[in-house]
Amino acid sequence: MESGNSTQISEFFLLGLSEEPELQPLVFGLFLSMYLITVCGNLFIILATISDSHLHTPMYFFLSNLSSVDICLTSTTVPKMLVNIQTQSKVITYAGCITQMSFFNLFIVLDDCLLTVMAYDRYVAICHPLHYTIIMNPRLCVLLVLASWITSILYSLLQSITVLKLSFCTCLDIPHFFCELNQVVQLACSDTFLNDVVMYFTSVLLGGGPLTGILYSYTKIVSPIHAISSSQERYKAFSTCASHLSVVSLYYFTGLGVYLNSAVTHSSHSSAAASVIYNLVIPMLNPFIYSLRNQDTKTALKRLFGRKV
């Protein structure tokens, strides 16, 4: 079979999570509900952080950025899936697929970077409390977020450029509900060695590096938390760290499970189902995890709702 140039490809077909017609209304309702909860929950966190002066601290600055990224992450993939189900169409244009893949790569790495920055913030707050405001000054906070954006943009551009050089044949069915990088590369007729090298190298670098930093930060945090004399302050520090660790655990274990599963079983449908967790479930749970265990956030949300009423 003769391969064609990638610029001649006009569209791909997203097969979604299930091809059973009777399950489509259920999938549509479930994803629409989860998407609305995700957007509203993260939006409330952002509004509470902006409106309450008590939350104008580095930790909540990073949390509001994380909530913004989570909204963008789910908005990159879920609306297109909902439109396809509603219109009973599986088509996504070549340009749309590359764009969706690029933005998804951007926001998923940005999520990773912000979680690492938040771990560093907790490390400074607990291990160096007297110098916290000096170290975590507004300039450094902005620089950390800016560095996260630059890293994510460069990663997304690198992956997109390598994919644009690929040629595709006639089989353009993507067994996923969005244009996931690995699934798109597998459809190529041309040599994908460079893509595989870049993919695995960046996965190790941007996955293992931040995870090492997070684990190192928390190994340093354990002893100072136990040394806090006030039980109330100890509980507050522990609650904040526990919330962050819960999100990190969900994020990394799910991502690791997706790639290990696809590498061992080559099951694209199970990989798509697992992708739902870090693509929609984790962003949906983040507001609940950070608000239910955090008294400051709950108080700010009460003030926000009280003001609106």
pLDDT tens digits along 143-197: 999 999 999 999 999 999 999 999 888 778 888 899 989 889 989 988 899 999 9
Q: Is residue 207 in some structural domain? A: yes
Domain with 162 in it: what CATH number?
1.20.1070.10
**CA–CA distances in Å: residue 5 to residues 170, 191, 222:** 11, 13, 55
* Count of CB atoms situated within 10 Å of the CB of 49: 23
β-strands 173-174, 11-14 pairing: parallel
The span from the CA of 69 to the CA of 88, in Å, is: 29
Supply the pLDDT for residue 5.
42
Supply the pLDDT for residue 6.
42
> DSSP character for 136?
T
Q: Is residue 303 in some structural domain? A: no
Q: Is residue 305 in some structural domain? A: no
Handedness of CA 280, 109, 75, 300 (dihedral sign): positive
* Domains held by the chain: number: 1
Q: Is residue 3 in some structural domain? A: no
Supply the pLDDT for residue 2.
42
Q: Is residue 193 in some structural domain? A: yes
Supply the pLDDT for residue 259.
59
Contact predicate 67/48, CB 8 Å: no
| 91-93 sheet: strands from edge to edge | 91-93, 11-14, 173-174
Supply the pLDDT for residue 309.
43
Element housing 236 (H / E)? helix 231-264
pTM, full prediction: 0.88
For 218, how many CA atoms within 13 A lie in the half-sphere containing its CB?
20
The span from the CA of 160 to the CA of 97, in Å, is: 11
Contact predicate 131/47, CB 8 Å: no
Supply the pLDDT for residue 16.
83
Ranges of residues in the chain with a pLDDT under 70 are 1-8, 255-271, 273, 292-295, 306-309
Q: Is residue 250 in some structural domain? A: yes
Q: Which residues constitute the domain of residue 271?
A: 9-296
Q: Is residue 278 in some structural domain? A: yes
The span from the CA of 111 to the CA of 167, in Å, is: 31
> DSSP character for 187?
T
Q: Is residue 308 in some structural domain? A: no
Question: Can you tell me whether residue 126 is helix, strand or coil?
Answer: helix
